[in-house]
């Protein structure tokens, strides 16, 4: 049986400051080595100053992933030399003196499967290495420390996955949960990364690191399973090792540096006293927890929204926030449909969402107008497009684009009589078989450019044919 | 002008208008220039000290509010960061390092209008007890320049003892404030762990060390604590003690106080002269109405081993950042890859630091941690339990600060193991986070002897009262310089 486990790193990008200093947690957009200070640069004499908000956010993640949360957490030093690490040790968490990581055992349900979480730890991100020059002779390494000290939550799973596809589904669910908690923005480049460990039946465990995106993760794991199976079929040993994902060649390469042999000499970080998370704080965090995706979904289906639509709506924070702010008991289903069928194509990327001028009021007006028959579903699409672009009021959009439905009975009757005279054959057919009346409704729609109120049209037609 | 006055006398003198800060600081700087070539107390001098003192005088004359230090010349150990000044830790590794920020203690002293005359010599990265491990040569004991001044804050103690400043700040990881204070006949104070912010103190063994004042009198030490102690948001290990006035009631007597004489700190290996001074001190304390009784701290026999195991582990980690990539000394990168570069660059650490980094890589390593590092932590916790038990029954513990008299330069440098035993009496306070003070008590053939008093955590105020009481019982010769 193939066993795959993950170590997911998630930056807490929504925090104001780094884990141990007041530099920005979201360094994106800063000039190189601008977002640094004596603390995150590890200058002589500087000391870490724990960001209490980061502890709370990490605890909330643990709670959302059904993990145990200890009353006391501790930080440890992981000692190793690397140029992206300004102190040449990383402040992280460990469970050697009992459960002192921010989160203990937990689980996430993926379809009908339970993926077990081993632990969750809070730690600092290192800086970023930039390689310049090509041949090994001229190769230089530059370091940008803007990222050094960014709060990072590491989520370690048990090896409960069997296929690369399961990883993708799991990671989508996980990013939705984290976005829903408003602790991170998973769409930011580098905000979420994962390492994987892969083993096949009868073989040793291989760790794959250096995977840039979730998309590549699936590929890397797929490659690794194939590589290991091929070794096994040739009766060659699968060596326990760390391999790096080579993004360009799309293969995994042995890290050689024997990372598994490194002795990190973990010991307690004396500069950060043990942090007590009192039960009242845990309770407070529980009450502050945003509603979970599954509970949202359940609530949405009560409005008569289909399970599939409710699924899409609840798992995307942007859509569900819009829905929450715009819906009423009566228009909920309509709003859900507008969001999941029409808005999705217009606000599918982060850039488009930022540029969108659509507010909750727009959506509410639009749904109400569709339900009252003032505007057809077809026209509603055009109105939505306009409002996303311009932010104009729905009323103005209807007038300026001439989108309103024909609700005037005499005017509509006039058009219908015209259609009946043109379609004598169809009229005869409809008289004998009422089912075919829809052909005539279509004709009326065509003549009015879709603006005839369908209900009213049917009423008049049926009266005339009787 | 008399440069030999205490900090409190200086403050009073400037307040009364009897002393001009500029004159006093100018003469102090002149004295440093004339005698420090021999004493080597300083690694760098503040060229603007006199100008800064002139500004204080101006502020006083114009009736503006002046900080409580009134331009007092203070020296600072070279492992405490002063903005835009060199902080070398007496190491070649940081030969050209200039700190871009002030340590919290510096910020606080600056707000109180202290003037920093210079950075003082020390054992490299505070590892040593003689200043002989300074990369820039040892300091000399002002009582006899053939002798070591103690360490690692040796330069600080020399600068106070030789009147090159009024007071100094050192750091104490295993006795580094108390030991040189004892050897140079000054008061050295190691506060309760967390009483003084370590932000800006270059870490050696961060879980046990503290900044501490070295002064001429106990009252001066209390005054300095008033200036620099208290919670600091930049150091998560600090304790909220602000508002405590350590000078208030310092003259309160110690009648009826219970003092334990630590058997293990007054036994085998103690110099007879030191032992007799200690006995003398005990009878003086009894004369003041204290009740003294011999006690045993059994874990003392393991304390030094535990101390070196823990400090080496933390030092190995704390000193890892000195890879010369971001700051340090001039050493070009060309022709190296990362591992070969840092291996070569790190050869600029001196012998004692290198020794401890090597030990620090070994004792906590997988497969050895159980026998060394974890056992050391066990000793630390047992020792703390023992000492806590004693403080349920006793107010203070007494012992000599150092079991031996100051020795000659070069006498023990080739015997690192015998050097280690020198701190047997001082490390307990660090390992147990307790406050301890060395009070100048006696003088044997021109060589100073200090007595150590230790108290329970956060009993700093009553410890200073006891130290003051003991100080009043002695009259010591003047330093021959």
User: Is A38 within 8 Å of B100 when comparing Cβ atoms?
Assistant: yes
User: Is A89 within 8 Å of B80 when comparing Cβ atoms?
Assistant: no
Average of per-residue pLDDT across A301-323: 92
User: Is A44 within 8 Å of B373 when comparing Cβ atoms?
Assistant: no
Q: Give Cα separations from B289 to A229, B253, B255, B431 (angstroms).
A: 85, 9, 4, 30
Predicted pLDDT of residue B468: 98
Question: How far is it, in rounded angstroms, from Cα A407 to Cα A459?
Answer: 12
Question: How big, in percent rounded to 5, are the helix, strand and coil portions of chain A?
Answer: 45, 20, 40
Predicted pLDDT of residue A180: 92
Predicted pLDDT of residue B141: 98
Asked whether the CA dihedral B406, B411, B414, B418 is positive or negative, the reply is negative
pLDDT value at B12 more than 60: yes
- With an 8 Å Cβ cutoff, is A270 touching chain B? yes
Burial class (CB in 10 A: 0-12, 13-18, 19+), A413: middle
Predicted pLDDT of residue A461: 85
Question: How far is it, in rounded angstroms, from Cα A465 to Cα A436?
Answer: 12
Question: How far is it, in rounded angstroms, from Cα A228 to Cα A233?
Answer: 9
**How far apart are the CA of B305 and the nearest CA of chain A, in angstroms?**
18
Average of per-residue pLDDT across A48-65: 96
Show which residues on chain B lie within 8 Å of chain A, measured between beta carbons: 79-81, 87, 89, 94, 97, 99-101, 103, 198-203, 206-207, 233-237, 313-314, 316-317, 320-321, 323, 325-327, 338-339, 342, 361, 364-366, 369, 373
Lowest mean pLDDT among A107-111, B71-75, B236-240, B361-365: A107-111
Predicted pLDDT of residue A258: 59
Specify the DSSP element, H or E, that contains A143: strand A140-144
Chain A positions in Cβ-Cβ contact with residue B369 (cut-off 8 Å): 265
pLDDT confidence bin for A257, thresholds 50/70/90: low
pLDDT confidence bin for B454, thresholds 50/70/90: very high
Predicted pLDDT of residue B337: 86
Chain A positions in Cβ-Cβ contact with residue B327 (cut-off 8 Å): 43
Query: Which pLDDT tens digit goes with each residue over B34-58?
Result: 999 999 999 999 999 999 999 999 9
Apex B266 CA angle, B445 and B476, nearest 5: 30
**How far apart are the CA of B82 and the nearest CA of chain A, in angstroms?**
10
Interface with A, mutate which of B320, B335, B363, B365 (most A CBs under 10 A): B320
**How far apart are the CA of A141 and the nearest CA of chain B, in angstroms?**
9
Please identify every residue of B annotated as catalytic. Answer: 77, 152, 176
Chain A with chain B: Cβ pairs closer than 8 A: 94
Between A41, A81, A265, which is nearest B323 by CB? Answer: A81
Predicted pLDDT of residue A136: 63
Closest-CA residue of chain A to B360:
A265
Ranges of each domain in chain B: 7-252
pLDDT value at A282 more than 70: yes
Among residues 21-80 of chain A, which lie with CB inside 8 Å of chain B? 38, 41-50, 77, 79
Query: Which pLDDT tens digit goes with each residue over A381-436?
Result: 999 999 999 999 998 888 888 888 877 788 888 888 888 888 888 888 888 888 88
Between A45, A141, A271, which is nearest B103 by CB? Answer: A45
Chain B positions in Cβ-Cβ contact with residue A143 (cut-off 8 Å): 325
Query: Which pLDDT tens digit goes with each residue over A314-367?
Result: 999 999 999 999 999 999 999 999 999 999 888 888 889 999 999 999 999 999
Q: Would you tell me which CATH number, out of the four given (3.40.980.10, 3.30.565.10, 3.90.1300.10, 3.40.920.10), belongs to the domain B7-252?
A: 3.90.1300.10
Interface with A, mutate which of B91, B318, B332 (most A CBs under 10 A): B318
**pLDDT, mean over chain A:** 91
Chain A positions in Cβ-Cβ contact with residue B211 (cut-off 8 Å): none
pLDDT confidence bin for A259, thresholds 50/70/90: low
Q: Judge contact between A19 and A39, C-beta under 8 A.
A: no
- With an 8 Å Cβ cutoff, is A133 touching chain B? no
Question: How far is it, in rounded angstroms, from Cα B353 to Cα B362?
Answer: 14
Query: Which pLDDT tens digit goes with each residue over A178-229?
Result: 999 999 999 899 999 999 999 999 899 999 998 988 889 999 999 999 999 9
Strands B42-45 and B210-215, by their bridges, are: unpaired
The one-character DSSP state at B235 is: B
- Which of A201-205, B153-157, B418-422 is predicted most confidently? B153-157
- Two structure tokens written together for A234: 């040739």
User: Is B236 within 8 Å of A48 when comparing Cβ atoms?
Assistant: yes
Name all domains of chain A by residue range, CATH numbers in brackets.
3-281 (no CATH), 291-401 (no CATH), 409-465 (1.10.10)
Average of per-residue pLDDT across B420-428: 91
């Amino acid at each position: 049986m193939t066993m795959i486990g993950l170590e997911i790193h998630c930056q807490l990008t929504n925090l104001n400051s780094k884990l141990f200093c007041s530099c920005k947690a979201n360094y994106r957009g800063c000039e190189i080595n601008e977002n640094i200070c004596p603390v995150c640069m590890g200058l002589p004499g500087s000391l870490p100053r724990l960001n209490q908000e980061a502890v709370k956010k990490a605890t909330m993640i643990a709670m959302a992933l059904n993990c145990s949360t200890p009353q006391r957490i501790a930080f440890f030093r992981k000692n190793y030399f690397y140029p992206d690490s300004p102190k040449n040790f990383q402040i992280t968490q460990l469970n050697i003196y009992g459960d002192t990581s921010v989160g203990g055992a937990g689980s996430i349900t993926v379809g009908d499967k339970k993926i077990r979480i081993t632990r969750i730890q809070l730690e600092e991100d290192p800086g970023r290495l930039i390689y310049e020059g090509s041949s090994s002779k001229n190769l230089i390494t530059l370091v940008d420390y803007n990222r050094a000290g960014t709060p990072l939550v590491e989520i370690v799973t048990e090896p409960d996955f069997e296929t690369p596809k399961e990883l993708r589904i799991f990671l989508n669910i996980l990013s939705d949960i984290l976005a829903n908690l408003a602790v991170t923005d998973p769409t930011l480049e580098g905000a979420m990364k994962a390492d994987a460990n892969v083993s096949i039946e009868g073989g040793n465990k291989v760790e794959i690191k250096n995977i840039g995106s979730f998309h590549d993760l699936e590929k890397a794991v797929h490659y690794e399973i194939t590589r290991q199976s091929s070794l096994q079929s040739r009766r060659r040993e699968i060596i326990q090792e760390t391999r790096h994902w080579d993004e360009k060649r799309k293969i995994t390469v042995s890290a050689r540096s024997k990372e598994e042999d490194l002795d990190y000499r973990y010991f307690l970080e004396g500069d950060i006293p043990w942090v007590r998370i009192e039960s009242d704080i845990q309770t407070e965090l529980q009450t502050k927890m945003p509603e979970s995706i599954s509970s949202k979904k359940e609530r949405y289906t009560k409005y008569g929204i289909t399970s599939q639509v409710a699924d899409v709506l609840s798992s995307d924070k942007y859509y569900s926030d819009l829905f929450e702010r715009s819906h009423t008991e009566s228009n909920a289903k309509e709003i859900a449909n507008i969001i999941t069928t029409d808005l999705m194509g217009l606000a599918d990327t982060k850039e488009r969402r930022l540029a969108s001028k659509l507010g909750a009021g727009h959506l509410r007006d639009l749904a109400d107008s569709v339900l009252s028959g003032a505007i057809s579903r077809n026209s509603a699409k055009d109105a939505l497009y306009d409002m996303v672009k311009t932010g104009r009021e729905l009323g103005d959009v209807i007038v300026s684009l001439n989108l309103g439905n024909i609700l005037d009975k005499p005017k509509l009757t006039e058009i219908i009589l015209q259609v009946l005279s043109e379609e004598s054959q169809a009229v005869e057919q409809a008289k004998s078989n009422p089912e075919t009346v829809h052909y005539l409704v279509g004709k009326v729609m065509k003549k009015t450019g879709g603006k005839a109120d369908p209900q009213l049209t049917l009423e008049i037609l049926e009266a005339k044919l009787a | 002008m008399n440069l030999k006055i205490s900090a409190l006398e200086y403050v009073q003198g400037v307040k009364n208008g009897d002393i001009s800060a500029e004159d006093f600081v100018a003469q102090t700087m002149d004295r440093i220039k004339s005698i420090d070539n021999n004493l080597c107390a300083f690694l760098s001098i503040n060229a603007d000290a006199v100008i800064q003192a002139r500004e204080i005088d101006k502020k006083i004359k114009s009736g503006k509010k002046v900080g409580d230090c009134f331009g007092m010349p203070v020296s600072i150990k070279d492992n405490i960061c002063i903005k835009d000044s060199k902080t070398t830790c007496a190491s070649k590794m940081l030969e050209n390092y200039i700190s871009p920020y002030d340590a919290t203690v510096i910020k606080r002293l600056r707000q109180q209008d202290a003037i920093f005359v210079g950075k003082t010599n020390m054992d490299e990265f505070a590892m040593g007890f003689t200043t002989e491990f300074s990369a820039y040569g040892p300091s000399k004991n002002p009582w006899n320049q053939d002798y070591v001044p103690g360490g690692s804050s040796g330069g600080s103690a020399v600068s106070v003892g030789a009147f090159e400043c009024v007071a100094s700040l050192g750091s104490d990881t295993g006795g580094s404030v108390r030991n040189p204070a004892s050897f140079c006949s000054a008061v050295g104070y190691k506060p309760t762990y967390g009483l003084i912010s370590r932000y800006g103190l270059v870490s050696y063994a961060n879980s046990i060390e503290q900044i501490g004042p070295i002064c001429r009198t106990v009252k001066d030490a209390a005054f300095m604590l008033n200036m620099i102690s208290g919670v600091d948001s930049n150091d998560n290990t600090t304790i909220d003690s602000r508002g405590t006035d350590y000078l208030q009631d310092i003259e309160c007597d110690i009648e009826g106080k219970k003092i334990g004489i630590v058997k293990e700190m007054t036994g085998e290996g103690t110099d007879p002269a030191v032992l007799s001074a200690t006995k003398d001190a005990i009878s003086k304390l009894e004369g003041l109405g204290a009740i003294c009784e011999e006690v045993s701290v059994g874990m003392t026999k393991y304390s030094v081993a535990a101390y070196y195991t823990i400090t080496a582990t933390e030092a190995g980690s704390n000193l890892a950042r000195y890879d010369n990539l971001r700051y340090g000394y001039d050493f070009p990168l060309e022709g190296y890859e990362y591992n070969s570069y840092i291996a070569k660059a790190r050869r600029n650490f001196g012998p004692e630091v290198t020794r401890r980094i090597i030990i620090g890589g070994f004792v906590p390593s997988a497969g050895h941690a159980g026998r060394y590092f974890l056992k050391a932590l066990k000793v630390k916790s047992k020792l703390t339990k023992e000492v806590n038990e004693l403080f349920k029954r006793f107010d203070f513990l007494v012992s000599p600060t150092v079991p031996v008299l100051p020795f000659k330069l070069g006498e023990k440098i080739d015997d690192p193991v015998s050097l280690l035993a020198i701190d047997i009496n001082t490390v307990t306070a660090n390992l147990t986070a307790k406050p301890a003070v060395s009070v100048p008590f006696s003088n044997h053939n021109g060589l100073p002897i200090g007595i150590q008093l230790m108290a329970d955590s956060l009993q700093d105020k009553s410890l200073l009262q006891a130290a003051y009481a003991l100080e009043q019982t002695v009259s010591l010769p003047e330093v021959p310089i």
